[in-house]
Amino acid sequence: MNKKLPVNLSPFIKTRYAYKKLKICRSCNHFTVLGDKQCMICGKKALISIDRKAASMLRRSMWKARLIAMLILLIGLVLSQSPMLLGLCAAGGIVLIAVLWIVQRKSAPAEQLMLLEKLFHKEANKLAAGLTADRDAAIAVFQSGNKPLTYEMLREVGALVQTDQLRLEQILLLQSFVLRKDMDLMLKPLLLDHFNPDLADYIGELSKIRRDLIKEDAFRYVLMYEGQILQMEHGESILIGVAGAAIRMKRYITLYPYLIIRYAHKLPKERFLRLYRMVQSSPHRNWEQLADEVERIYNEKYKWDEDFQTSHNPNN
């Protein structure tokens, strides 16, 4: 039997857009999602965020236009034949350069996105090679025996590269750790489009410690592969856990009533009590079959339980 490792995982820093995780080396243009400053290819401390790179490209291109405008103005000033012309040229030139400056400032956010798009197209091969190098670096760390760091590296790569292989590697690593509630865990990015017992196990563990991570995609996954999960050694307890997680929100009860009906009789008392209270407090909802099943289980197991007495409404 594999012994699970107690580990401390550093929190995953989410960015609003995944591409913002990218860093680029100012020296060799190597793309990476790993490392803070030092480039793993050229070894120089020249890594900068992709936004900073785009901002510096933008500054350069805007200054180029301003310098051309200033040069034209300077030629006009040098070659002006009278003080009146000099004044006219200076005033007109300053106004025009100011207009250019204002237009540039207003266009800066859009320009920055355009430059990024251009950069990604131009350096597509380097981008793909960079992320491949990141994954290879993670595998090298795994071979050196540092599993938590490997997971953290794969998690960073996985924010952008979404392949089943990468997901599986992360799931397997997570399954080798002792998972705790305070860990920065995730589920949605790891869901596969085929059945995998390790993923099912992971969902089962999450249903005990982080029910909030089990959302619609996970419910759909579990429902789709319910038969295979039931054939697993602890398959039923996984499904009971997931059914218990569905009781977290009324929306999930409405969406997946049959999942709950099938496993309601095996729910832990605390989860069943929650289900019971939710069903009791929502008589207007269309939960007839579920309400009947809940009432049946209540009568069978909890009729004389004190915790249930405060919530029982015989008219419902």
Partner 1 sequence: MVTYVCLGLLFLFVVIKSANYYSRRKRAPSPEQLDILVRSILKSGQRERE
Q: How far is CA 76 from CA 69, 85, 95, 101, in A?
A: 11, 9, 14, 19
By CB under 8 A, is residue 3 in contact with partner 1? no
Q: Does 107 bind partner 1 (CB under 8 A)?
A: yes
The verdict on 12 binding partner 1 (CB under 8 A) reads no
- Compute CA distances 109 → 69, 113, 115, whole Å: 22, 7, 10
Q: Which stretch binds partner 1 (CB under 8 A): 120-128, 141-149, 209-217, 270-278?
A: 120-128
Q: Which of 18, 31, 50 is nearest to 127 (CA)?
A: 31
- Which of 99, 139, 178, 230 is the binder for partner 1 (CB under 8 A)? 99
Does position 49 interact with partner 1 (CB under 8 A)? The reply is no
Instruction: Examine residue 61 and tell whether it contacts partner 1 (CB under 8 A).
Output: no
* End-to-end Cα spacing for the chain: 49
Nearer to partner 1, 120 or 195 (CB): 120
The nearest distance, CB 170 to partner 1, in angstroms, is 16
73: contact with partner 1 by CB under 8 A? yes
Q: Rule CB under 8 A: is residue 5 a binding residue for partner 1?
A: no
> Given the complex with partner 1, which of 134 and 293 has the nearer CB atom?
134
- Applying CB under 8 A, the residues found at the interface with partner 1 are 16-19, 22, 65, 68-69, 72-73, 75-77, 79-81, 85-86, 88-89, 92-93, 96-97, 99-100, 103-104, 106-107, 109-111, 113-114, 116-117, 120-121, 124-125, 127-129, 131-132, 160-163
